[in-house]
Structure 1
Amino acid sequence: MIPWGYTVPAVAAVAVVVVFELVLLKTGLFRKPAYWLTMVIVTGFQIPVDGWLTKLSAPIVLYSPEHITGLRFPWDIPVEDFLFGFALVTAVLLVWERARQREEAS
């Protein structure tokens, strides 16, 4: 059974953001080391916070098992959280990068 509730939208969000960059915006963000460093920093903060919120021993945030894959790593974090995090942060950075490029061009 495909977990439609959270997994499919998480994967779709990543695909939409990547296609948006590669086909429409073409900012070159994915080629910049600063972007990847930013993602490492974001993930470094996401792991302890998300891990605390989703730990199976005393969860603050609960997920319906039928809506996620059940894959959790590390500290019981559903892998879908990382997909949404990537899509959200990347989308914001793409908008900022596009705005910066337009400002420089004018």
Structure 2
Amino acid sequence: MPWGYTVPAVAAVLVVVAAELLVLRTGLLRRPAYWVTMAIVTAFQVPVDGWLTKLSAPIVRYAPEGITGWRFPWDIPVEDFLFGYAMVTAVLLLWERGAQSRKDSA
């Protein structure tokens, strides 16, 4: 299926951002600490994901028709960054929402 990995990766980012803006409204995306956290996550993601997806000796392979083919740095498919962003952001948003709920009920 063309774009079989790209479309869900983009959709995941859109769903997570929409959930924050329209439903959760935690304010997390406006906090500098969130962006520092994402920079730290990316700093660890690059060497690990780069090692797993390097074209010279891949451990993880992607069907060429399922991705855009855009890779950076160290051959990491751009879709991996999108999924990573969506996953980490979703967890942080739910964590923050839970903390706010506990504070409100106390």
Q: Which bin holds the TM-score, normalised by the shorter protein?
A: over 0.9
Match of 2:90, as an amino acid?
A
Q: How many residues in Structure 1 have an aligned counterpart in Structure 2?
A: 105
Q: TM-score, normalised by structure 2?
A: 0.97
Residue 53 of structure 2 contacts residue 60 of structure 2 at CA under 8 Å; is this kept in 1? yes
**Residue 94 of structure 1 corresponds to which residue in structure 2?**
93
Query: How far is 1:105 from its partner?
Result: 1.1
In 1, Cα distance between the equivalents of 2:15 and 2:2?
Answer: 19
Query: How far is 1:31 from its partner?
Result: 0.7
**Residue 11 of structure 1 corresponds to which residue in structure 2?**
10
Query: Identical aligned pairs, as a percentage?
Result: 75
In 2, Cα distance between the equivalents of 1:62 and 1:16?
Answer: 26
1:40-81 Cα offsets, whole Å, 9 max, x none, are 000000000000000000000000100000000000000000
In 2, Cα distance between the equivalents of 1:99 and 1:33?
Answer: 20
**Residue 55 of structure 2 corresponds to which residue in structure 1?**
56
Query: How far is 1:100 from its partner?
Result: 0.5
In 1, Cα distance between the equivalents of 2:34 and 2:94?
Answer: 13
In 2, Cα distance between the equivalents of 1:13 and 1:56?
Answer: 25
Residue 51 of structure 1 contacts residue 76 of structure 1 at CA under 8 Å; is this kept in 2? yes
1:34-45 alignment runs, 5 A limit = 34-45=33-44
Runs of 4+ more than 2 Å apart: none
Corresponding position: 1:27 with 2:26: yes
Query: How far is 1:4 from its partner?
Result: 2.6
Corresponding position: 1:66 with 2:65: yes
RMSD, aligned CA: 1.0
In 2, Cα distance between the equivalents of 1:100 and 1:35?
Answer: 15
